[in-house]
Structure 1
């Protein structure tokens, strides 16, 4: 018994681990990283939520920044030609407004002049569709068609649709207010953009200030290159598809071509959706043969755009994988609808350019800022 007791007392006692030692092992390091990731996600979610509460201000600022980056070189060209800064800004600003006003004017008059014809053709097309459903391979009874039509009429006259119309009026009001605010912000970005950026960089000095200045330059390069390159690609798409619609005598050819131009600013899906809309109009107005021709033209133009135009015109303005673009489009659409889909991809490209600058991985970093650390060095 005594021997056993002495043997038990001789066994080493279990040592207590301090909290710092608990966090130093494998599970502790995993827990630390998990806590950091959760904290970053919470901060990002709170920031996005806060920005969405003031989206009437945030969205005009972003649109104005993108437009200013796109037409900024034109303002600088006018200044180099001897025009004062204020006059050069005014000329570029008025030219941009005239272009936008011309686009909306063409859409309005084209729709107004051809709307009656399209409505009549749509009515006859629906009659043909109804006849096909009654006598097609899988015939539908007349009672079922009448019941579906009554359901559509009831929905169109319901209180839900009326409340949606009221919501639409508020959306129109917000759109007009945001457009007016964007115009004002755009003017000041063009006129005093450099002064505004210098003011924001006043708290920073040395290497950090140099990096931030490089971030500003890269942001303007990416946004400007993206908008100008996309505009060129969209113009080619518009001319090709619009010419095909005019040759095939599809109604609303001009508005549909402009929709193609606008849709091209939504990568991957915008131009395709606009082409499908044009094919549907052709199907209703001109029949299935013309619709198939329109589909073939849209597919050919999309192939030309993806294989030739974008690599040549866009260059390195949009160095993003297709999966990243798709994820950015999805997130932007969920957060801000169509405007979010348009803004998400250039903002994602800017974010990636900022990461490259901040980690000294931007290939043009040393030439633009010799004081910064060389590429592939440890970030500061």
Structure 2
């Protein structure tokens, strides 16, 4: 056997004769003692603590690189990816309606068209109502704004570090000069360009939504056709969970936003704040951005109250906004959402920040439902009520002590 030559080394004459007969010996065959020793040393190099840390660090860098590249690609293709995500969310919200249409053997195309028309009519009606109401009361609000600015200037002059009249005039002149400068004009042109991009995205979203509502089941069957067995069952669980999360999120958020709008509208009417109706509609639209949206709508309402009715009225508006938001966040939303969107508030804030950085306002709107859907996929990865192995809760049971009292 080959290993015996290491146990019984040859004599000097035998070694010299072998070198003469074969001056160029072959390298040690695979499995010999030197090769095994070399492999053992390499294995020890990567199996110690530093080696395991290096391997894990390389894996994290690879996953991070792929994630950054994917986010960059999605941001570059935002004119397609954002309308597609919005269409998928709205399609999930209208899923019960389309199931009713198919169950009663009506035309799916007709049901999709009715749902799309209703959605666009609600969005357009809200925007036109806000714009029309602001336009009607803009003159009165502008006069009160000028009075408010004068009050602020008079208050500033009472402070020990207040600017003098000449400095205030310089600030006013700089603001007026910026509004009439070419830079402001170029910004307005940029705003018009952004508005055209938004219009194109809304049009694409409407088209995608129509086909998702009309042919959604056929599209899914085509995508799931290559899958079989366990993979197909997992894909079905992911589809059902995603539809439930998207639909539940949209319906519960719409109900909560309506609650916020009605509550703030009643409070503004009682406090006699101008533009109560458009401010309520604006709150309704902003409330679709979790946490931040309702606070932003309340801040705008308080600002209008400050300009029109004074600091005390603005403080009362803030109190109304806080009460409404607390009722909506702590009472209404847990009842409506249940376990549909089980995300911590910190996760929601981080998701909104990332969505805003990638897709602007629309990114902030869709960041939370996408994150909730991703977490929902993890929750049904291995079964309807069986999360992925790494996401399962760990057992906290204490060890049973032995008879002798030792644990």
How many residue pairs get aligned? The number is 356
Which segment is superposed worse, 346-355 or 239-248? 239-248
Q: Is residue 29 from structure 1 mapped to residue 52 from structure 2 by the alignment?
A: yes
1:260 CA drift (Å): 0.9
1:136 CA drift (Å): 4.4
Paired position in structure 2 for 1:240: 263
Paired position in structure 2 for 1:161: 184
Distance 2:356 2:57 in 1: 29
**Alpha carbons 2:342, 2:372 under 8 Å: kept:** yes
| Corresponding residue to 2:66 among 35, 43, 48 | 43
Distance 1:106 1:304 in 2: 27
RMSD of the TM alignment (CA)?
Answer: 2.2
1:249 CA drift (Å): 2.5
Paired position in structure 2 for 1:355: 378
Paired position in structure 2 for 1:146: 169
SS at match of 1:337: helix
Distance 1:186 1:153 in 2: 45
Paired position in structure 1 for 2:368: 345
1:314 CA drift (Å): 1.2
Q: Is residue 84 from structure 1 mapped to residue 116 from structure 2 by the alignment?
A: no
| Corresponding residue to 1:103 among 126, 130, 146 | 126
Distance 1:53 1:296, change over 3 A: same
1:135 CA drift (Å): 2.9
Paired position in structure 2 for 1:263: 286
Correspondence list, 1:99-138, <5 A? 99-136=122-159, 138=161
Distance 1:197 1:163 in 2: 45
Correspondence list, 1:213-228, <5 A? 213-228=236-251
Which segment is superposed worse, 219-228 or 197-206? 197-206
| Corresponding residue to 1:230 among 237, 240, 253 | 253
1:302 CA drift (Å): 1.1
Gaps of 5+ in 2: 1-36, 394-407
Which segment is superposed worse, 150-159 or 175-184? 150-159
Q: Is residue 181 from structure 1 mapped to residue 181 from structure 2 by the alignment?
A: no
Paired position in structure 2 for 1:7: none
Deviations 1:63-107 (A, max 9, x none): 111111112212222333442322222222222222222212211
TM-score (norm 1): 0.88
Paired position in structure 1 for 2:21: none
Paired position in structure 2 for 1:10: none
| Corresponding residue to 1:53 among 76, 80, 83 | 76
Distance 1:208 1:83 in 2: 33
SS at match of 2:371: helix
SS at match of 1:320: coil
| Corresponding residue to 1:20 among 39, 43, 55 | 43
Distance 2:337 2:378 in 1: 20
SS at match of 2:342: coil
Gaps of 5+ in 1: 1-14, 366-371
Distance 1:93 1:76 in 2: 15
Paired position in structure 2 for 1:316: 339
SS at match of 1:23: helix
Distance 2:187 2:269 in 1: 35
TM-score (norm 2): 0.83
| Corresponding residue to 2:223 among 196, 200, 205 | 200
**Alpha carbons 2:380, 2:386 under 8 Å: kept:** no
1:163 CA drift (Å): 2.4
